[in-house]
Every structure is written in structure tokens, then in C-alpha cells.
């Protein structure tokens, strides 16, 4: 069933498990996410960035909503990294049930102001809101934040931000970053900071940049002709520790991008005569489903629906 982000995340924080929030850009990705969640009796969030909305629009949003409404587990449709009040309103009009307003690149007061506007509008329509305080390293779609400007979330500031905005859940900067290159080897996660913030707050916390970039998928990507550098993602153990201390929503996009591309490349390489889209995108859907299944097990949301 299609529900709000709060319906899924408030129980997750209380139950000390994480809920995967997976980005989608087409039907097969959406099916892999929701069907795998149903198979494992797991709540799940499907998110679309502004780029995905530009790419698939209401067509894609309707596919997500239709599959979500018929699903036998709770599913929310979430706007990822909404960049403005207008973008948030448009997504609400499109039927999104959870909205992120990401004004984290602005100074604190402006972030509060922008976030509070979206909270008031979304709450008027029974929609829950994610906001962000602190900056991730890496590339946030419309923002390039290089390492020296990246700063992690201050716990006391997070308390003030939550009080002043009424945000329902908060994305915090704790060492993760977007993309396939999260640092040399095992990315540094500031667990003390997560635990401090969790001890001062009661709302669900969000970890962006939580793809694991599994070595096996990276190897298959190279073996099937893909080119990728020294890729690294967040370790399963780090995710499990974090979800035990307040992290309830865990954003994953890169792992699905890699998995889908591996699926397509492996078919095209093994069967050069193949040109039936179902024989090309079907296996890609299966590789994504395997990656999603692993993530749901790591997050501990299996059997929670």
C-alpha cells in the first residue's frame, strides 16, 4: 500500500532497523525494488530525484504509485533532493507521499526558512518531510561539494534545526558521500557523531550515500566491458551500527545503477545477436533484485511489514 514516509520511518527508528530508499528511473528498477520488498515482507521507499522527474515525469510517478498501491507491503514515493519550494509543491501535486527539501548548501537560517515553508505546505496535505543539515562530500546532483567544503552535522545545531523547522526526518552528514568513489577502501563513518545526534533527537535520521558498491558487482562491471576506477562504498557493518542508533532511512542509488548496467552488459556481451528488450532488461531486473535483497537483509527490515 502507498503510505507516507513517516508511516514507514517512525516505526523503523523505534525498531532500530533501517529502511532502504532506492532511486528509480524506469519500470524495471521500480519492480525490482517493490517486488523484492514484498518477497521479504519489508517496508521500502522508492525515490525520484529531480533528474528522474525530468526523465520520466508523471508517467514514471504513476508507474511507481500504481505498483505501490497494489503492493502488499508499505511503500512511500519520495522526492529525493528537492531543490526548492516550487519543486516540492510540484512533487506533492504529482502524488508523492514524502518530500525532501535539501537546502543544506545555504547558511543555517536560510535552510531553516526554506525547510519550514515546505514543512507547512506538506503537513497541510498530510505529507511528511525530509531535510538536510551538513554537507556530504561527493556530487549531490546539482551541487559539487568538494572535500574541503564538506562539513559534518553538528549535534547541537541539529536539535535547533529540528525544533525550528518541524522536519519529520533529517539527513545528516556523517562521512558518507554520493557515487561510487566514497573514499579509499572503507569510507570513514563518524559513528560517535551519529550516536550523539541520536541521543539528542527522536525523529528518524537519514543516511545519504549508502550504496555498498559491492566488489563482486564492480568486478562483473569490468568483466562485461565497463570502465570504473577505484570504487568503494559504505561497509555493511557500518550501516548496521548506524541503523542501531537512529538512522532509519538509507539512500541507495549507485548500487542499482551498477547492477542494472551489469545485467545489460552481460547479456549484450554473451549474446551479441540478442535484441529483444525483455531479454536485455529482464536479467538486469534480476541483478538489481539480488542487490536489493542483500541490502534489505543488512538493514534488518526483512519481516517488518
Which residues lie below 8 Å from residue 223, measured CB to CB, with a gap of 6+? none
102 is an annotated ligand-binding site residue: yes
Name the packing angle between helices 85-94 and 108-124 (round to 10°). 20
Q: Does 83 bind ligand TD3 (CB under 6 A)?
A: no
Stretch that binds ligand TD3, among 162-170, 196-204, 208-216, 266-274 (CB under 6 A): 208-216
What do you get for the CA distance between the two ends of the chain, in Å? Answer: 11
Which residue from 105, 85, 185 is spatially nearest to 151, judged by alpha carbons? 105
Name the residue among 120, 73, 130 with its Cα closest to residue 97. Answer: 130
Vertex 45, ends 255 and 207: CA angle to 5°? 60
Q: Residue from 25, 42, 98, 254 that binds ligand TD3 (CB under 6 A)?
A: 254
65, 208, 249, 285: residue in contact with Zn ion (rule CB under 5 A)? 208
For residue 251, the minimal CB distance to Zn ion (Å) is 5
Cα 281 from chain centre: 22
83 is in an annotated binding site: no
Question: Is 209 annotated to bind ligand?
Answer: yes
81 DSSP 8-state letter: E
100 binds, among Na ion, ligand TD3, Zn ion, none (CB under 5 to 8 A by kind): Na ion
Coil/strand/helix, residue 212: coil
Interaction pattern, residues 104-143, with ligand TD3; x per rule: CB under 6 A: -------------------------------------x--
Q: Does 266 bind ligand TD3 (CB under 6 A)?
A: no
Report the nearest approach of ligand TD3 to the CB of residue 7 (Å).
Answer: 20
DSSP structure string for 108-155: HHHHHHHHHHHHHHHHHTT-EEEEEES--BSEETTEE--GGG--PPPH
Closest distance to ligand TD3 from the beta carbon of 137 (Å)? 11
Are 210 and 241 within 8 A, CB to CB?
Answer: no
Considering the candidates 80, 154, 238, 255, report the single residue annotated as catalytic: 80
Cβ nearer to ligand TD3, comparing 209 with 246: 209
For the window 63-82, what string marks contact with ligand TD3 as x by the rule CB under 6 A? Answer: -----------------xx-
**Identified binder of ligand TD3 from the candidate list 19, 173, 252, 288, rule CB under 6 A:** 252
Taking the CA of residue 287 as centre, how many other CA atoms within 13 Å lie in the half-sphere pointing to its CB? 25
Is the CB of 251 or the CB of 301 nearer to Zn ion? 251
230 in a known ligand binding site: no
23 interface partner picked from Zn ion, Na ion, ligand TD3, none, CB below 5 to 8 A per type: ligand TD3
Q: State yes or no: 132 annotated in a binding site.
A: yes
Instruction: Tell me whether residue 80 is one of the annotated catalytic residues.
Output: yes
The answer to whether 201 and 189 are in contact (CB under 8 A) is no
Residues with active-site annotation: 80
Amino acid at each position: 500500500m502507498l503510505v507516507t514516509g513517516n508511516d514507514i520511518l517512525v516505526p523503523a527508528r523505534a525498531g532500530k532497523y533501517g529502511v532502504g530508499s532506492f532511486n528509480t528511473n524506469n519500470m524495471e528498477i521500480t519492480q525490482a525494488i517493490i517486488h523484492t520488498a514484498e518477497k521479504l515482507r519489508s517496508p521500502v521507499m522508492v525515490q525520484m530525484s529531480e533528474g528522474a522527474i525530468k526523465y520520466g515525469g508523471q508517467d514514471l510517478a504513476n508507474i511507481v504509485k500504481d505498483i505501490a498501491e497494489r503492493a502488499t507491503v508499505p511503500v512511500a514515493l519520495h522526492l529525493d533532493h528537492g531543490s526548492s519550494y516550487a519543486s516540492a509543491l510540484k512533487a506533492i501535486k504529482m502524488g508523492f507521499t514524502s518530500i525532501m527539501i535539501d537546502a543544506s548548501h545555504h547558511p543555517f537560517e536560510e535552510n531553516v526558512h526554506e525547510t519550514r515553508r515546505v514543512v507547512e505546505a506538506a503537513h497541510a496535505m498530510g505529507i511528511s518531510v525530509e531535510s538536510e543539515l551538513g554537507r556530504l562530500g561527493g556530487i549531490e546532483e546539482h551541487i559539487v561539494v568538494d572535500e574541503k567544503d564538506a562539513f559534518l552535522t553538528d549535534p547541537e545545531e541539529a536539535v535547533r534545526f529540528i525544533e525550528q523547522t518541524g522536519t519529520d526526518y533529517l539527513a545528516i552528514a556523517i562521512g558518507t558521500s554520493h557515487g561510487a568513489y566514497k573514499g579509499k577502501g572503507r569510507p570513514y563513518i563518524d559513528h560517535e557523531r551519529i550516536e550523539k545526534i541520536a541521543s539528542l533527537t527522536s525523529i528518524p535520521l537519514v543516511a545519504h550515500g549508502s550504496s555498498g558498491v559491492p566488489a563482486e558487482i564492480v568486478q562483473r562491471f569490468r568483466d562485461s566491458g565497463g570502465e570504473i576506477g577505484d570504487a568503494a562504498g559504505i561497509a555493511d557493518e557500518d550501516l548496521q551500527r548506524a541503523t542501531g542508533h537512529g538512522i532509519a532511512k538509507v539512500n541507495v542509488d549507485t548500487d542499482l545503477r551498477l547492477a542494472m548496467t551489469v545485467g545489460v552488459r552481460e547479456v549484450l556481451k554473451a549474446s551479441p545477436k540478442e535484441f529483444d528488450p525483455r531479454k536485455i532488461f529482464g536479467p538486469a531486473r534480476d541483478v538489481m533484485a539480488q542487490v536489493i535483497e542483500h541490502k534489505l537483509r543488512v538493514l534488518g527490515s526483512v519481516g517488518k511489514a
